[in-house]
Amino acid sequence: MTRERVVSPKEVSQEEESWNLSLRPQVLNEFIGQKGVVDKLSISLAAAKKREEPLEHMLLYGPPGLGKTTLAHIISRETNCKIFATSGPALERSADLIGILTNLQEGDILFIDEIHRLSTIVEEFLYPAMEDFKIDFVVDKGAYAKTLNVPLKRFTLIGATTRAGFLSAPLRERFGLTYHLTFYETEDLVKIVKRSSGLLSIEIGHEVAHEVAKRSRGTPRIANRLLKRVRDFAQVKAAGKISLDSTIESLKIEGIDHLGLDELDKKYIKVILDHHQGGPVGIETIAATLNEAAETLEEMVEPYLLKIGLLSRTRLGRKVNESAIKSLKIENLKIPSSQGNLF
């Protein structure tokens, strides 16, 4: 079952992605949040410039919508080098990479999104390119087969992934720099919402920015999407004036509560509570009940529920915490004696 969720951290359309491009920071000094990553990255960039060498290969990992692609493009601008972007699923054969790699110039950046989805053949083809800046490929077949060794210019590979654990150890070890992007604090999201509103010539107060930020699930992409919905609602229902009341009303219509939860989040929690007495229960069972793919729930629902403490992952399965019951205002929940003092 597929659905478009306002609070999805992934891109929902090409049109939205084009719109988001105009809001992205262009240089590292404009990047808000992820202070630890930005500080370390700025040092690595400065060191590479002093040595007049390309940046080391870099792996960026973390939930979607936090700025991995944005950082890759910022690095391209900071180093004054071209960036060539592709994705793991798009590289099905080693031949798909040959043209890209041989056209890279000194210091250029190859950005591979969803790098954990590279096929084994393509991944192994990358190893000598990353380590020795050369590729070997076979031409002809049988007795006429020859192996050609092609040298490459020194380039920087930036890989982005939402599932770092799915990368093979040999590939992961070939990245000299590894940065983990985490969910944003509300204060940083407030700054992002204000910055975006300025770029869009939208007048909002601090209360409005805070209301949008706290419902954005720690994700800038969602914050910008909600800001757009708030703007649209105000133009139609509030004569173009964005107030706190119009903001709350617009987000209520979108089905997003004060914690940033939508209907799928609440159904996920209620399935565990209503059918499994709070858990623990396996993800496949939950997915079958909701008619959703288990991978969708693991990538799109669980990370935020875990972050705000509504859900726990245990050895036996998923378990709802007491704070979920309070936030959803669920009363008279009966917990089996085997759960002890779970709630």
State the catalytic residue, choosing from 69, 70, 79, 296: 69
Instruction: Please give the structure tokens belonging to residue 177.
Output: 């720099």
- Residues 319 and 262: beta-carbon distance below 8 Å: no
- Our answer to whether residue 221 is catalytic in this structure is yes
**H or E element, residue 116:** none
Contacts of 128 (CB under 8 A, 6+ apart): 134, 135, 136
For residues 288 and 291, give the distance between their C-alpha atoms in angstroms, rounded to a whole number: 5
Q: Which of 215, 221, 231, 318 is catalytic?
A: 221
Query: Please, are residues 159 and 112 in contact by the beta-carbon 8 Å criterion?
Result: yes
Active-site annotation holds for 69: yes
Q: Which residues pair with 177 in a beta bridge?
A: 58
Of the residues 5, 24, 68, 225, only one is catalytic, namely 68
Residues 5, 70, 79, 113: which is the catalytic one?
113
* Vertex 154 angle, CA 86 and 70, to 5°: 40
Active site residue 162: yes
Annotated active-site residue in 70, 156, 161, 162 = 162
* Residue whose C-alpha is closest to residue 242's, from 226, 257, 219, 255: 226
For 282, residues 6+ apart whose C-beta sits below 8 A from its C-beta are: 317, 318
CB-count exposure of residue 271 (10 Å: 0-12, 13-18, 19+): buried
Tokens (6 digits) for 67: 């700025």
68 catalytic residue (yes or no): yes
What is the distance between the alpha carbons of residues 271 and 232, in angstroms, rounded to a whole number? Answer: 34
Q: How buried is 308 (Cβ within 10 angstroms: 0-12 exposed, 13-18 middle, 19+ buried)?
A: middle
113 is catalytic: yes
* Residues carrying an active site annotation: 68-69, 113, 162, 221
